[in-house]
Structures are given as structure tokens and as C-alpha cells.
Structure 1
Amino acid sequence: GGGVTFAAQPRDYSKKVNKKMYKGAISCIFSELLRTERLKVVSEFDITEAKTKNITALMTSLGVKDALLMTDELDENLYLSARNLYHVGVCDTQSIDPVSLIGYQNVVITEAALKKVEAML
């Protein structure tokens, strides 16, 4: 057959980040968000049904257009409501990472999630 001599090999370019460096990055990003007033704290997200207009109303009331919504536990209604909006992301405290925190203009976090993040750092 007509094989290629030095064909491209699939490679994994991911790097392992140490826990100490990961926590330092998260705390640095949170302090920068606080300093620039891009961290909004709400008591909780009252999303009873999975409708996109609930999220747009919430974003309008907070005065933000591009945001990462962070909860202590992933709420299915919140996720389903926000998945159709490209400028809104949803995550819980177990799945936060520096890239997603930097990727949005604002971070809207619940009080319970903020306590979990503080305990984690």
C-alpha cells in the first residue's frame, strides 16, 4: 500500500498542574475579580423552570451580559436555561478552573458556593 513514511502521530500536549499552583491561580483570579468589581454575589438562583428568558431576566437585573454562573451544586434547571446562551456559562464549585474563570467578563456566584470556594482555598 501507499503508506506515509513519517506519518503524524496523535499526541497529548496536556500538562499536570500542581495543587498548590492551581489553588494559587484560583485565589489570584478571584482577588482580581473582586478588585475590578466583576464578582457578583447572589443569595441563590431562583430558577424554577428551564426557560432561557429566566436567565436573561436574571442577567438584566444584575446588569451583566457575559457571565459565568457558579453554584455549590449543579442545578439542572439553571444549566438547561443557560445552555442556549453562548455568553453564559454554568459550573459548580467542584468543576471550576482558571480558564473558565478568565473566559467570562463577570462571575456570578451564590453565597453557598463562595463559602465552599473559600474553604477550598
Structure 2
Amino acid sequence: MKPIPELPQELFRDEILSRLPIESVSRFKSVCKSWLSLFSDPHFVKQHNDRQNPKENDLLVIRKYGHIAIISRYQEQFLLRKYDDYKLIGSAKGLVSLRWQNVVSLWNPRFVNLRNFTFHR
């Protein structure tokens, strides 16, 4: 029987690892130092982000009467604080940033994560 040839590292990195879900990439960073280095490399991060975030619009933000409703094709609807007046700051790389009083929120609609950061004036 012929030995199986080794898979080229570029093929493994560019065509297999870059397609993994972000949860797996985060877990695999702790496997060894070389994988931490690979998954932290700016080229890999950009390639992975490009594959994970398709170019078409995935969000629809609707603001009405002080409410912000964010409709995503990944979930039916996400309504932020029923009665509070959030201000949409902007979005980049799949994240949406919002402000309410002294709280800035970063929302990732793909993974339904919302992180709040309080700042003091």
C-alpha cells in the first residue's frame, strides 16, 4: 500500500482551517503555540473573517419611537431594551455598536452576543 502524501500546509490552512466556525478557532488556539500563532496571524484572521462574513447584507436596522429593532437573517428578531433610546454608532466586520446613556454595546448578530461597556464622564 502506498503511503498517503502529506497535505500541504498552505492547503490545510487556507482551505480547511479558514472555514472552521469561530468557536472552534477560539478553542484550537489553546492546542499549541504554533496554532495560537497561526490563528492570531493577521492574514489568517482576515481570510477567516472574509469566509465567515458573506458580502451580502445580513442586517436590517429599524428605529421607531425610540426603539431599535435589528432584524437578522440568522435569527428572527433581536429587540434591544424595549423603552430605552439606543443610538446606533455604526458597524464594522459584522459587529454593531450602539450607545445608551453611559453604556456602549457591541452586538454580534451572527452569534447573538451582546457585550456592554460602561464608561464614566
Task: Give the TM-score of the pair, scaled to structure 2.
Answer: 0.30
Which protein is richer in helix relative to its size? Answer: 1
Which protein is richer in strand relative to its size? Answer: 2
* Higher RCO (Cα < 8 Å, 6 or more apart): 1
